[in-house]
Amino acid sequence: MRISPFVLLTALTAAACNADPLPSVTDGASETGTETGTGTDTDTSTTATPTTTQSDDLCVPGSSAGCTCPNGNMGSQECNADGKSYGMCECEGGGSNSNSDGTLEPTSTSTDGVTTTEGTTTTEGTTEGTSTSSTSTGEDTTTEGATCDDPGPEPNNSEANAIDLGDQGCGAMAETVEGVLDGEDDIDWFSYHGVWNGLCIVGPNTRHTLTASEDVRLCVFADCDQGTADFNCPNGTTETESPSGGHPGCCGEGVMNLNFNLGCGLLNPNNARLFIRVDQAPADACVEYSVDYDFDT
């Protein structure tokens, strides 16, 4: 069958009129498409750009923070309503200090190694608060007196209790006795027996030499076995008698040497007991001394 050109053209025209329209696309934040058939369908999509907001607040409005008062104590200040600054520093007992820029420096006060904490005033020896107290501890300066250590036998503080040093003959070597005087009331007595025999020629020439750490007094008394002791006291000494026996003698204060020639009478041997007395130390002094003695030099 042959179709005429007119019929074909008519058919193509009718088909073109019933075709779907092309979709419309727009670049950007929104895209809308419309499809028409037996009805209408609409699809819409939107993309939003996110927004970020940064807060410049320094503090939370109404909150409190520590601050330093003009007198150095700690106070408090309240955050203003804008959150960007602080109000006046409120101090205990009156006074204020402005610190509105919101910058708080660390506050500490040190006294003798004691550091204060926020809101507390501390002084060594005190607790919280403004009161202070001090404690004074005095050292005990009481000292006991020195103790004298006397190596010699005691008691020998009287003529009757004199320490017997034994015999010493003519030509014998000098001997030494040592002792300690404990203050002005202490007295030491010693005695020895001088023996004169046929081998002795001239004398006896007695010698007594004192060495002491302080000035003390030395006395020597003689008691002949027979007869009465006869001698002359050396210069710088004083003639005296022993306190209990009444024996003649010599005393010298600070004297280093007390020497004399002893005789007991023309018809009597010159045998005699000699007493040595050391005394008169300074008050509260502990005096060490020694006496060299020789019956016949």
Domain CATH for 195: 2.60.120
Please give the tally of structural domains in the chain.
Answer: 2
- Give yes or no: residues 218 and 284 share one domain: yes
Q: Does residue 208 sit within a domain?
A: yes
**Structure tokens that stand for 74 in this block:** 């700690």
pLDDT band at 96 (very low <50, low <70, confident <90, very high): low
Q: Does residue 86 sit within a domain?
A: yes
pLDDT band at 93 (very low <50, low <70, confident <90, very high): low
Q: Does residue 90 sit within a domain?
A: yes
What phi and psi, each to the nearest 5 degrees, are found at residue 257?
-130, 135
- Give yes or no: residues 80 and 193 share one domain: no
What phi and psi, each to the nearest 5 degrees, are found at residue 27?
-70, 140
CA atoms within 13 A on the CB side of 173: 2
What pLDDT sits at residue 107?
45
Q: What is the C-alpha separation between 139 and 176, in angstroms, rounded?
A: 46
Which candidate, 182, 179, 191, places its Cα nearest to that of 219? Answer: 191
Asked which of 75, 98, 114 is the last residue of a domain, the reply is 114
Which candidate, 224, 223, 172, places its Cα nearest to that of 200? Answer: 172
What pLDDT sits at residue 94?
58
Exposed / middle / buried, residue 280 (Cβ in 10 Å: 0-12, 13-18, 19+)? buried
**Residue 42 is inside which H or E element, if any?**
strand 40-46
What pLDDT sits at residue 36?
41
- Give yes or no: residues 278 and 168 share one domain: yes
- Give yes or no: residues 173 and 279 share one domain: yes
- Give yes or no: residues 192 and 268 share one domain: yes
What phi and psi, each to the nearest 5 degrees, are found at residue 77?
-135, 145
Interval 196-232: pLDDT, tens: 987 888 889 999 999 999 999 999 999 999 999 999 9
- Give yes or no: residues 182 and 107 share one domain: no
Exposed / middle / buried, residue 183 (Cβ in 10 Å: 0-12, 13-18, 19+)? middle
Which candidate, 129, 234, 12, 174, places its Cα nearest to that of 165? Answer: 174
Q: Does residue 40 sit within a domain?
A: no
- Give yes or no: residues 199 and 284 share one domain: yes
Q: What is the C-alpha separation between 251 and 253, in angstroms, rounded?
A: 7
- Give yes or no: residues 168 and 105 share one domain: no
Alpha-carbon 39 to chain mean position: 106
User: 3 or 241: which carries more pLDDT confidence?
Assistant: 241
Which residue in the block uniquely carries the two structure tokens 């060490």?
Answer: 288
Q: Does residue 98 sit within a domain?
A: yes
Q: Does residue 46 sit within a domain?
A: no
User: 17 or 265: which carries more pLDDT confidence?
Assistant: 265
Q: Does residue 201 sit within a domain?
A: yes
pLDDT band at 185 (very low <50, low <70, confident <90, very high): very high
Which candidate, 200, 201, 198, 178, places its Cα nearest to that of 293? Answer: 178
**Structure tokens that stand for 162 in this block:** 């004199």
Sign for the CA dihedral angle at 195, 199, 203, 207 comes to negative
C-alpha Rg value of the chain to the nearest Å: 63
pLDDT band at 297 (very low <50, low <70, confident <90, very high): confident
- Give yes or no: residues 104 and 169 share one domain: no
Highest mean pLDDT (candidates 104-113, 192-201, 233-242): 233-242
What pLDDT sits at residue 83?
86
Range of the domain at 190: 163-294
Q: Does residue 257 sit within a domain?
A: yes
Q: What is the C-alpha separation between 39 and 54, in angstroms, rounded?
A: 49
- Give yes or no: residues 77 and 185 share one domain: no
pLDDT band at 123 (very low <50, low <70, confident <90, very high): very low
- Give yes or no: residues 71 and 187 share one domain: no
According to the 3-state scheme, what is the secondary structure of 5-24?
Answer: HHHHHHHHHHHHHCCCCCCC
- Give yes or no: residues 178 and 105 share one domain: no
Helices vs strands, H then E, count in the chain: 1, 18
Q: Calculate the dihedral angle through the C-alpha atoms of 91, 94, 99, 103, rounding to the nearest 10 degrees.
A: -10
Bridge pairing between strands 96-98 and 88-90: antiparallel
